[in-house]
Structure 1
């Protein structure tokens, strides 16, 4: 009797473990902005022709309703703006080019048999995005790294310098960390800035035992004082607009008042005459005409 009870308890425990594994089975993919990523559909049967028995679904954080991206061997019309960046490989993996924030979310690959019956459970794929920026403010430069995730972020993010923790170089750098983001600041006198070799910095993204590192890609710095340029450009445009409006109004006034045009004498053709009279003691009165231009 005792052995029978023990066998029942053991069977229940095995079943609970299997259910837990089924619920938690998934994998996450982290890529950088602009990268290309391939999401695997798992084991695909050989009887599929152009993946016509495979369906890819997508759920974003802003929309809880799943959108069909691929179905019956073609990119689905519901893909809309994403269709130009999507394709499917021979083994039915989903390829996304030029990954952006709109691609972050949960992807599900469903496989069907010829009778259109679902073959097995979905294994969700969570796509997250790493974004790195550089910002210059007076005599300092700040590099930022953040992870955009579909659900609650559980990533640990930090910066490395020459593959080492920046804590070991605290005298040269100032770091800060928060949920799913990290930043490092250094002065413009540092040789990293003068050499423009920012690739010595790497953003490390870790979730549990899984870890990825992304080298910083050099690109033009954003300058906090750059907004002055927009103000100056705006003032220039406003001044030009005022000049154009004033000229148009003057021209219309001139066209609507022909008398003004007739009575107006062009400066370069205007001629004035003056008569000067003088008297000499020993001569008769004389008259001289002078021309002034």
Structure 2
């Protein structure tokens, strides 16, 4: 076959992909700490958001929850009060909780017919908690051992070990100076559970730990995506310290978090 025919055939394949939508839209991965607000972009949006529908799935094969239908919020969703549709057809979610992790699908309909392919956004949520209390604040006496839990809630089904390995995801604790805490430091006991994307930090609080901050970070390919901190604050009424969890300081939703499906 001549070079001209090869070019013609290639052109027909490309044109067919554009017409049928089989060329696909890149999936986006967004990392955020619990308690923050998030903005999920719709990469396949049409000029009129009345054609936009947003769906949510916890896992790949779980039941679908329709959040936005043709530009309007659904009233029968638990997230109703925290949802809004941006002027660019993006989905805004306020006060993210660990229940919000999973993947979100932006889909376009015109005259009841789907247009093009889905635009998917995978939302990964970092959450810090303490063994001392499930609430956001608790009093811990100096000299007492405390365990901090840092968990990445992800769309991965079952073990997230394979996903962490393939995407080069890492969870770790750092001190106030940003230095990574390691198992070689006898003061800290650090354990990782790849099955549930959890890293724990156990330590005994000292008097000098008052107002000290430990931060849990998640990185992808050595780039920090988001972090949450555990801050120990002095109490003026008693010889105790108050643990405040979490204080969110970092959030990355730059284009580098987008990967092809």
* Fold conserved between structures, TM > 0.5: yes
The alpha carbon displacement at 1:118 in A equals 2.7
Aligned to 2:57: 59
Aligned to 2:231: 218
More strand by share: 2
Instruction: Identify the residue that residue 135 of structure 1 maps to in structure 2.
Output: 131
Name the CA distance, whole Å, in 1 between partners of 2:187 and 2:94: 38
Give a deviation string over 1:9-29, Cα, whole Å, max 9, x none.
Answer: x97xx99xx9xx967931211
1:148 Cα offset (Å): 1.2
Compare relative contact order (CA 8 Å, sep 6+) and give the higher one, 1 or 2.
2
Query: Is the 1:202–1:213 Cα contact (8 Å) retained in structure 2?
Result: no
Q: Give the 3 Å change call, closer, same or farther, for CA 217–88 of structure 1 in structure 2.
A: farther
- Range that drifts further, 209-218 or 82-91: 209-218
* Paired residue secondary structure (2:79): helix
Partner of 1:156: 170
**2:118 is equivalent to residue 122 of structure 1:** yes
| Cα pair distance change 1:117/1:63, threshold 3 Å | closer
CA distance in 1, matches of 2:204, 2:99: 34
Q: 2:206 matched to 1:189?
A: yes
State the Cα distance separating 1:216 from its structure 2 match.
0.7
TM-score in terms of structure 2 length: 0.66
Match of 1:165 among 176, 180, 188: 180
Higher CA-based Rg: 1
1:33-89 Cα shifts (integer Å, max 9, x gaps): 22111110125333x1xx21100011123971212110133102342x211111111
- Structure 1 residue 221: deviation in Å? 4.4
Preserved CA contact (<8 Å) 1:56 1:68:
yes
Q: Are residues 1:45 and 2:58 paired?
A: no
Q: Which has the higher helix share?
A: 1
Contact 2:172–2:216 (CA under 8 A) maintained in structure 1: yes
- How many residues align structurally? 206
Q: Could you list the runs of 5+ residues in structure 2 that have no partner in the other structure?
A: 133-139, 233-241, 245-261
* SS state at 2:156 partner: coil
Given the alignment, which residue of 91, 98, 101 partners 2:95? 98
CA distance in 2 between counterparts of 1:168 and 1:59 reads 37
Gaps in structure 1 of 5+ consecutive residues: 223-293
Q: Deviations over 1:131-158 (max 9, x none)?
A: 1013358722222211111224224211
Taking the TM superposition and a 5 Å limit, the aligned residue runs for 1:277-292 are: none
1:202 aligned partner: 215
Q: Secondary structure of the residue that 1:90 maps to in structure 2?
A: coil
Match of 2:84 in 1: 87
